[in-house]
């Protein structure tokens, strides 16, 4: 039987907020900072990925964004924030662990945060891995709005999320006082669509993940604020990715319904010397069946830049 993964938890200050974080591996080893996506907790980075990275000689840190898990929640109406503020939270985590330079691995919105830091704080970034994400500066809200109103994408624009995903997103938000069983029942249809149609869907895996999310959350609905933060005006553009100097891996699923493969291609094209790896059959989730493949790619990406 696989032993449970033992991490070292701590609370990290970020301004007047506190962020939950967890560290694994030898503190003397190169650090990989795992940055999750919108409305997602740090523990949604699978233990299987973390274990493989540690076994590969990496110190791994994962954390809960503001408004998720055990981190502080914010009243967005009176205290709005942006993706830039969420990027500052990631730097606060690195500072708390006394990490001067780290390998950044960001999934979905976490990929945008990691890209942003590679532009604005290049000295803090050893390597960049943008996973299941899109180019910095993409106006996703505009893409979605056009799709919802039946308008085709503008010429040269990236494709919106699939119609099936947009329809499912509108109907799978659990109520504020949902029981655990109701919460899981509401979320499973979304995970089925995000997972994609090719790889086997193991319902028990997603049930266990949502059970842990439900148990850890201070406020399950606070993560909706990430959507508002992502829609706030971003002063950086995709063109700014030309300033990225960190070795970059763009890692993406061929069946991603949130950010179809053209988003990965555009990200890789915008970053000098970026390497694009498409994972056959993967959607917009990180199923345990892909732990080994994803960890292998991250270890390969971080190996040459170890310091």
pLDDT grade for 141, boundaries at 50, 70 and 90: confident
Check which CATH number belongs to the domain holding 39 and give it. Answer: 3.40.50.1820
Check pLDDT > 50 for residue 82: yes
pLDDT at position 175, please?
Answer: 66
Instruction: Give me the catalytic one of 195, 252, 284, 291.
Output: 284
Percent of the chain scoring above 90 in pLDDT: 83
| Within-domain flag for 208 | yes
pLDDT at 176: 65
Q: Is residue 200 part of a domain?
A: yes
pLDDT score for 231 = 87
Q: What is the mean pLDDT of residues 100-127?
A: 98
Instruction: Kindly state whether residue 1 falls inside one of the protein's structural domains.
Output: no
Residue 161 lies in a domain: yes
Q: How confident is the model over 210-262, as pLDDT tens digits?
A: 999 999 999 988 999 998 998 888 899 999 999 999 999 999 999 999 999 99
pLDDT for residue 29 is more than 60: yes
Return d(Cα 36, Cα 111) in angstroms, integer. Answer: 8
Contacts 24+ apart (CB under 8 A), 178-182: 178/220, 180/211, 180/214
Which of 23, 34, 57 is closest to 299 using CA atoms? 57
Confidence bin at 71 (pLDDT 50/70/90):
very high
Q: Is the dihedral of CA 230, 87, 120, 272 positive or negative?
A: negative
Whether residue 94 is predicted with pLDDT greater than 70 in this model: the reply is yes
* Angle made by CA atoms 192, 197, 199, in degrees to the nearest 5: 95
Q: How confident is the model at residue 5 (pLDDT cuts 50, 70, 90)?
A: confident
In angstroms, rounded to a whole number, what is the distance separating the alpha carbons of residues 103 and 106?
Answer: 10
| Cα–Cα nearest to 288, from 220, 228, 202, 177 | 202
Of the two residues 307 and 252, the one the predictor is more confident about is: 252
Which run of H or E residues covers position 279? Answer: strand 275-279
Side by side, the strands of the sheet bearing 275-279 are: 8-14, 17-24, 59-63, 31-35, 102-107, 125-131, 248-253, 275-279
Mean pLDDT check: name the lowest of 23-27, 30-34, 213-217: 213-217
Model pLDDT, residue 1:
38
Whether 67 sits among the annotated catalytic residues: the reply is no
Q: What is the pLDDT of residue 291?
A: 98
Predicted pLDDT of residue 27: 96
Q: What's the mean pLDDT in 97-112?
A: 98
Given this model, what pLDDT does residue 152 score? Answer: 87
Domain-located, residue 28? yes
Print the domain residue range for 34. 8-303
- Is the pLDDT at 154 greater than 90? The verdict is no
Catalytic, 256? Answer: yes
| 241 in a structural domain | yes
- Bin 32: left if φ > 0, else alpha if -120 < ψ < 50, else beta: beta
pLDDT digits (tens, 9 = 90+) for 252-283: 999 999 999 999 999 999 999 999 999 999 99
Residue 107 — pLDDT band, cuts 50, 70, 90?
very high
Of 252, 256, 263, 291, the active-site residue reads 256
Does 164 fall in a domain?
yes
Surface-to-core class of residue 107, CB atoms within 10 Å of its CB (0-12 exposed, 13-18 middle, 19+ buried): buried
pLDDT at residue 3 tops 80 = no
What average pLDDT score do residues 204-209 get? 97
- Report pLDDT for 272: 98
Q: How far apart are CA 226 and CA 223, in angstroms?
A: 6
Among residues 52, 53, 69, the alpha carbon closest in space to that of 17 is found at 69
The mean predicted confidence, pLDDT, of the chain is 94
DSSP string, 140-158: HHHHHHHHHTTPPPPTTPP
pLDDT value of position 179: 86
Catalytic: 226? no
Position of tokens 């979905």? 108
Active-site residue, from 108, 130, 132, 133: 108
Q: Total domain count for the chain?
A: 1
- In this predicted model, which residue has the larger pLDDT, 251 or 141? 251
């Amino acid at each position: 039987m696989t032993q449970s993964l033992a991490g070292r938890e701590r609370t990290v200050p970020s301004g007047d907020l506190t962020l939950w974080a967890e560290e694994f591996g030898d503190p003397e080893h190169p650090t990989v900072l795992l940055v999750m996506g919108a409305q997602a907790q740090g523990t949604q980075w699978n233990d299987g990925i973390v274990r493989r990275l540690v076994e590969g000689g990496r110190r791994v840190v994962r954390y809960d964004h503001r408004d998720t898990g055990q981190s502080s929640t914010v009243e967005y109406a009176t205290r709005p924030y942006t993706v830039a503020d969420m990027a500052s939270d990631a730097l606060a985590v690195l500072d708390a662990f006394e990490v001067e330079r780290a390998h950044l691995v960001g999934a979905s919105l976490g990929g945008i945060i990691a890209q942003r830091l590679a532009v604005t704080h290049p000295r803090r970034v050893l390597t960049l891995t943008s996973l299941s994400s899109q180019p910095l500066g993409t106006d996703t809200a505009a893409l979605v709005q056009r799709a919802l109103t039946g308008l085709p994408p503008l010429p040269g624009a990236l494709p919106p999320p699939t119609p099936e995903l947009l329809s499912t997103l509108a109907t799978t938000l659990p109520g504020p006082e949902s029981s655990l069983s109701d919460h899981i029942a509401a979320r499973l249809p979304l995970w089925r669509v995000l997972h994609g149609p090719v790889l086997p869907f193991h319902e028990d895996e997603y049930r266990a993940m949502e059970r842990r999310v439900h148990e850890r959350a201070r406020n399950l609905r606070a993560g909706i604020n990430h959507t508002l933060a992502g829609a706030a005006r971003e002063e950086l553009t995709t063109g700014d990715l030309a300033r990225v100097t960190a070795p970059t891996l763009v890692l993406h699923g061929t069946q991603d319904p949130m950010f179809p493969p053209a988003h990965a291609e555009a990200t890789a094209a915008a970053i000098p010397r970026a390497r694009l790896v498409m994972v056959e059959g993967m959607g917009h989730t990180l199923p345990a069946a892909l732990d080994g493949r994803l960890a292998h790619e991250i270890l390969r990406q971080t190996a040459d830049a170890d310091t």
